[in-house]
Amino acid sequence: MRLSIPHMGNVYLPFRAVCQRLGIDYIVPPANSQRTLSLGSRYSPEGLCIPFKMTLGNMIEAAEMGANTLIVPGGYGICRLGYYTRVQEQVLHNLGYDIEVIQMGVSERKFFGMLDIIRRISNNAPWHRILSAFRFGLAKLNTIDQIERTVQKVRPVELVQGTANQLYTRAVHAVDNADDYDTLKGVRTDYLGQLNHVARNDHARPLIVGITGEFYVVLEPFSSFDIERELGKLGVEVRRATFISGWTKFSLFLNPFGINEKSRIHRAARPYLKRDIGGDGWESVGEKVLHAKEYDGLIHLAPFTCMPEIIAENIMPSTKEQIPVLTILCDEQIAKAGVLTRLEAFVDLLERKRRMRHDLQRVSV
């Protein structure tokens, strides 16, 4: 059996770690590229969103490399994503690949369902080995997310542009190669130290822009032309609440005990949107309301034809808490130049707004 999973940000790191520890034959699909997207859009039904097309592209590329088992997230109660597995499986079969698609529930039986799947694909490995491998995978995930958070802070203020990005790329490799806790810890302290010692521009006062929207496009840099890096180049500090490590921590372990990291966001959204509408629509509205004071602007990423985000996009302008929002719809038709122009214009607007606010303050003093 050769196992593979579609890409979503750095999610392949923990999976590779788990599979290595359990001796499962695992292949990482080729990094997301234009080919992935073209393959995916060619074989998808029209009108589906970019997460479907990208993951389908990954699946086809993995199948070409000989994978015969795929793990794909799915389940009830999360927009149409829960239904994707069935259609993708059919597409793959029609293309002539003999492949088994295992649906990993992300809405019900999350933790135990995941352990069950790991046990199944590892040929009934003993539970203690599964748990220890799982824990190690989580440690890798936490490390890389912690490094990414620091990178987000360093990018806009570094003197030599691109230093943080280089360090980040190297850190991903180092985390991927670390095969025990000590090495991993070493990698973490090493890279966090290096990042904190990057030469900084002391006069820089970066604008703060939040990134919110649909889970996949927020986490997968390819689908949004790596918007965080581009914002970093423009001297903007990016804040994002969605991290895979955060999702695993709460969704797998804390939500069953009634602790929900999002309840604050939901409370904020409630005057404008009363209930969960699937996907991340509720959270998008909530983040706008919650961070209106903190952030200078908000970038709302959504796949084209995403149902929950369209509702959110309709509701967002009507909130009392005002903050500039730029909605970027991602699909296979967007062009990088178009996105960059819009980002530059948006950042200019935010800067002018901030200057005006300062001038006003000075006048009142």
Partner 1 sequence: MTTVGIPRALLYYQYYPMWKTFFEHLGAKVVVSSPTTRKTLAEGAARVVADTCLPAKVFVGHTVSLVGNCDCIFIPVIRSLKSKTYNCSKFLGLPDMTRAVVPEAPPILEIEIDINRGKRRLYEDIYRLGRHFTWNPLRVREAAMAAWQTYREYRELMYRHQLTPPQAMEEITGELQTGLAMTPDTLRVPRTTIGLIGHTYLLYDEHINYQLIHRLQQYDATVVTPEMLPGYAIEASVNKLAGRAYWTYEEEVVGAGGYFLESGADGIIGIMAFGCGPDSLMMDMIHRQATRLKTTPFMCLTLEEHTSETGVITRLEAFMDMINRRKQRGEALCV
Residues in the site for partner 1, rule: CB under 8 A? Answer: 45-48, 76-77, 79-80, 82-84, 86-87, 90, 94, 272-279, 281, 304-308, 310-311, 313-315, 317-318, 327, 329
DSSP classification of residue 303: E
- Give the nearest distance from C-beta 84 to partner 1 in angstroms: 8
- Give the nearest distance from C-beta 188 to partner 1 in angstroms: 39
Beta carbon nearer to partner 1, 61 or 313: 313
Contact 150, 195 (CB under 8 A): yes
- Give the nearest distance from C-beta 39 to partner 1 in angstroms: 17
- Give the nearest distance from C-beta 186 to partner 1 in angstroms: 45
Beta carbon nearer to partner 1, 335 or 365: 335
Give, in degrees to the nearest 5, the angle at Cα 92 between 222 and 1. 90
Beta carbon nearer to partner 1, 297 or 308: 308
**Distance in angstroms (rounded) separating the CA atoms of residues 198 and 151:** 10
Structure-token pair, residue 109: 């039986």
For the chain, percent helix, then strand, then coil, each to nearest 5?
60, 10, 30
Beta carbon nearer to partner 1, 48 or 217: 48
Beta carbon nearer to partner 1, 232 or 279: 279
- Give the nearest distance from C-beta 251 to partner 1 in angstroms: 18
Beta carbon nearer to partner 1, 214 or 296: 214
Phi, psi of 175 (to 5 degrees): -65, -40
**Distance in angstroms (rounded) separating the CA atoms of residues 242 and 10:** 13
Q: Helix axis angle, 181-196 relative to 163-177, nearest 10°?
A: 170
- Give the nearest distance from C-beta 35 to partner 1 in angstroms: 23
**Distance in angstroms (rounded) separating the CA atoms of residues 253 and 5:** 22
Query: Which H or E element spans position 327?
Result: strand 325-330
Spatial neighbors of 100 by CB under 8 A, at least 6 apart, are 68, 69, 70
Beta carbon nearer to partner 1, 207 or 330: 330
- Give the nearest distance from C-beta 247 to partner 1 in angstroms: 20
- Give the nearest distance from C-beta 273 to partner 1 in angstroms: 5
Beta carbon nearer to partner 1, 14 or 303: 303
Residue 94's CB is within 10 A of a number of other CB atoms, namely 9
- Give the nearest distance from C-beta 209 to partner 1 in angstroms: 21
**Distance in angstroms (rounded) separating the CA atoms of residues 155 and 177:** 25
Beta carbon nearer to partner 1, 87 or 340: 87
Structure-token pair, residue 217: 């496009």
Spatial neighbors of 271 by CB under 8 A, at least 6 apart, are 289
Sheet-wide strand order for 69-74: 3-4, 69-74, 100-105
User: Which three-class secondary structure state does DSSP give residue 268?
Assistant: helix
